[in-house]
Amino acid sequence: MVGRDVLRPGPTNHPPGLLSGPGRGVVAITAAPARPDGTSDAHPAVQLEGITKRFPGVVANKDIGFSVARGTVHAIVGENGAGKSTLMKILYGVQRPDEGSISIGGRVVDLHSPADAIAAGIGMVFQHFQLADNFTVLENVVLGAEKLHGIGDAARREITRISDEYGLDVDPDALVDDLGVGARQRIEILKVLYRGAKIIILDEPTAVLVPQEVDELFDNLRELKSEGLTVLFISHKLDEVLSVADSITVIRRGTTVDTVDPSSVNARQLAELMVGAELPTPQTEESTVTDRVVLRIEDIVLAGAGAGRNVLDGISLTIHAGEVLGIAGVEGNGQAELVEVIMGMREPTSGLVFLGDTDISDWRTREIREAGVAYIPEDRQRHALLLEAPLWENRILGHQTEEPNVRGFIINAAGAKADTERIVKEYDVRTPSINVKAGSLSGGNQQKLIVGREMSHQPKVLVAAHPTRGVDVGAQSSIWDIIRQARRDGLAVLLISADLEELIGLSDTIEVILRGRLTGTFDPDTVTAEDLGAAMTGAAANPEETR
Amino acid sequence: MSTFSPRKLLLAVAAPVLALVVAFLVTSAILLLLGDPVVEVWQTILSWPKPRQLVQIVNGATVYYLSAVAVAVGFRMNLFNIGVDGQYRVAVFAGAAFAGQAWFPGPLNVLLTIVVAMVAGGLWASIAAYLKVRRGISEVISTIMLNAIATGVVQWLLLKVAVKQQGSNSISTKPIPESSQLDGLGLIPGATNKVYTLILLAVLVGALYWFVINKTRFGFDLRATGRSESAAVASGVKVPRMVVTTMIASGALAGLIGMPLLFGQDHSYGTTFQAGLGFAGIGIALLGRNHPLGIAAAALLWSFLDVQSNALQIRAGVASEVVFIIQGVILFAVVIAYELIRRADVRLEQQRVARELAATRSDAPTPEGATA
Cα separation, A216 vs A240, whole angstroms: 12
- pLDDT of amino acid A56: 61
> Quick check: A432 and B361 CB within 8 A?
no
- pLDDT of amino acid B360: 65
**Among B220, B224, B354, beta carbon nearest to A57:** B354
**Eight-class DSSP state of B310:** T
Per the DSSP assignment, residues forming a β-bridge with A465 are A496
- pLDDT of amino acid B224: 94
Which strands make up the sheet holding A492-496, listed edge to edge?
A373-376, A461-465, A492-496, A324-328, A509-514, A517-522
Q: Evaluate if residue B318 carries a pLDDT over 70.
A: yes
Kindly report the CA angle at A66 between A470 and A473, in degrees rounded to 5? 25
Domain residue limits, chain A = 4-121+198-275, 293-545
Q: Which of A144-158, A238-252, A283-297, B241-255 has the lowest mean pLDDT?
A: A283-297
- Residue ranges of alpha helices (H) inside A229-334 are 238-244, 267-275
Higher pLDDT among residues A536 and B156, named by residue:
B156
Q: Which of A209-218, A442-451, A519-528, A537-546 has the lowest mean pLDDT?
A: A537-546
Residue A35: pLDDT band with limits 50, 70, 90: very low
Q: Evaluate if residue B200 carries a pLDDT over 90.
A: yes
**A4-121+198-275 matches A293-545 in fold:** yes
Residue B60: pLDDT band with limits 50, 70, 90: very high
Per the DSSP assignment, residues forming a β-bridge with A66 are A48
Residue B112: pLDDT band with limits 50, 70, 90: very high
Q: What is the pLDDT of residues A401-457, one digit of tens each?
A: 888 888 889 999 999 999 999 999 998 888 888 888 998 887 888 999 999 999 998
Higher pLDDT among residues B11 and A336, named by residue:
A336
Q: Domain A293-545: which topology?
A: Rossmann fold (3.40.50)
Q: Evaluate if residue B34 carries a pLDDT over 60.
A: yes
- Contact of A388 with chain B, judged by CB distance below 8 Å, is answered with yes
| DSSP string for A306-369 | TTSPPSEEEEEEEEETT-EEEEE--TTSSHHHHHHHHTTSS--SEEEEEETTEE-TT--HHHHH
Residue A423 neighbours by CB distance under 10 Å: 22
Residue B171: alpha-carbon gap to chain centroid: 28
Q: What is the pLDDT of residues A459-504, one digit of tens each?
A: 999 999 989 887 776 788 889 989 998 888 899 999 998 777 788 8
- pLDDT of amino acid A296: 93
Higher pLDDT among residues A38 and A457, named by residue:
A457
Cα separation, A287 vs A302, whole angstroms: 33
Closest among A17, A65, A450 to A255, alpha carbons compared:
A65
Cα separation, A228 vs A250, whole angstroms: 24
Residue A321 neighbours by CB distance under 10 Å: 21
> Is the predicted ipTM greater than 0.85, yes or no?
no
Helix (H), strand (E), coil (C) string for A438-461? HHHCCHHHHHHHHHHHHHHHCCCE
- Contact of A253 with chain B, judged by CB distance below 8 Å, is answered with yes
Chain B residue with Cα closest to A470? B372
pLDDT, chain A, mean: 81
Which range scores top for mean pLDDT: A14-28, A252-266, B85-99, B270-284? B85-99
Per the DSSP assignment, residues forming a β-bridge with A353 are A297
**Contact list, A86 vs chain B (CB under 8 Å):** 370-371
Burial letters for B87-117: b for 16+ Cβ neighbours within 10 Å, e otherwise?
Answer: bbbbbbbbbbbbbbebebeeeebbebbbebb
Per the DSSP assignment, residues forming a β-bridge with A325 are A494, A509
- pLDDT of amino acid A276: 63
In angstroms, the separation between the Cα of residue B360 and the nearest Cα of chain A is 9
- pLDDT of amino acid A19: 36
Q: What is the pLDDT of residues B204-234, one digit of tens each?
A: 999 999 999 999 999 999 999 999 999 999 9
Q: What is the pLDDT of residues A87-125, one digit of tens each?
A: 888 888 888 888 888 988 888 888 888 888 888 899 888
- Contact of A412 with chain B, judged by CB distance below 8 Å, is answered with no
Give the mean model confidence (pLDDT) for residues B250-263: 93
Q: What is the pLDDT of residues A316-357, one digit of tens each?
A: 999 999 999 999 887 778 888 999 999 999 999 999 999 988
Chain A residue with Cα closest to B351? A56
Q: Evaluate if residue A26 carries a pLDDT over 60.
A: no
- pLDDT of amino acid A279: 45
Give the mean model confidence (pLDDT) for residues A129-151: 87
Q: Which of A202-211, B54-63, B341-350 has the lowest mean pLDDT?
A: A202-211
Please give the share of chain B, as a percent, with pLDDT higher than 90. 48
Q: Evaluate if residue B168 carries a pLDDT over 80.
A: no
Q: Evaluate if residue B367 carries a pLDDT over 60.
A: no
Please give the share of chain B, as a percent, with pLDDT higher than 70. 93
Which range scores top for mean pLDDT: A108-112, A518-522, B253-257? B253-257
Judge contact between A472 and B368, C-beta under 8 A. Answer: yes
Cα separation, B275 vs B279, whole angstroms: 9
- pLDDT of amino acid A132: 87
- pLDDT of amino acid A547: 35
**Among A58, A343, A386, beta carbon nearest to B371:** A58
Judge contact between A294 and A355, C-beta under 8 A. Answer: yes
Which range scores top for mean pLDDT: A524-538, B53-67, B155-169? B53-67
Q: What is the pLDDT of residues A240-257, one digit of tens each?
A: 888 889 999 988 878 888
Judge contact between B193 and B55, C-beta under 8 A. Answer: yes
> Quick check: A383 and B354 CB within 8 A?
no
Give the mean model confidence (pLDDT) for residues A201-216: 77
Q: Evaluate if residue A37 carries a pLDDT over 80.
A: no
Q: Evaluate if residue B146 carries a pLDDT over 50.
A: yes
Q: Evaluate if residue B30 carries a pLDDT over 80.
A: yes
Cα separation, A353 vs A344, whole angstroms: 10
Residues 6-65 of chain A with CB under 8 A from chain B are 54-62
Q: Evaluate if residue B2 carries a pLDDT over 60.
A: no
Residue B4: pLDDT band with limits 50, 70, 90: low
Per the DSSP assignment, residues forming a β-bridge with A75 are A233, A248
**Among A60, A377, A472, beta carbon nearest to B234:** A377
pLDDT, chain B, mean: 87
Domain residue limits, chain B = 63-276
Residue A335 neighbours by CB distance under 10 Å: 22
- pLDDT of amino acid B16: 83
Residue A14: pLDDT band with limits 50, 70, 90: very low
Cβ-based neighbours of A462, under 8 Å, separated by 6 or more: A373, A374, A376, A454, A455, A483, A486, A491, A492, A493, A494
Residues 344-383 of chain A with CB under 8 A from chain B are 345, 364-370, 375, 377, 379-383
Q: Which of A281-295, B106-120, B232-246, B355-369 has the lowest mean pLDDT?
A: B355-369
> Quick check: B230 and A393 CB within 8 A?
no
Identify the CATH class of A4-121+198-275: alpha beta
Please give the share of chain A, as a percent, with pLDDT higher than 90. 22
Q: Is the dihedral of CA B79, B80, B82, B88 positive or negative?
A: positive
**Among A368, A377, A432, beta carbon nearest to B357:** A432
Q: Evaluate if residue A196 carries a pLDDT over 90.
A: no
Per the DSSP assignment, residues forming a β-bridge with A493 are A324, A462
**Contact list, B238 vs chain A (CB under 8 Å):** 364, 366
Chain B residue with Cα closest to A341? B234
Chain B residue with Cα closest to A410? B216
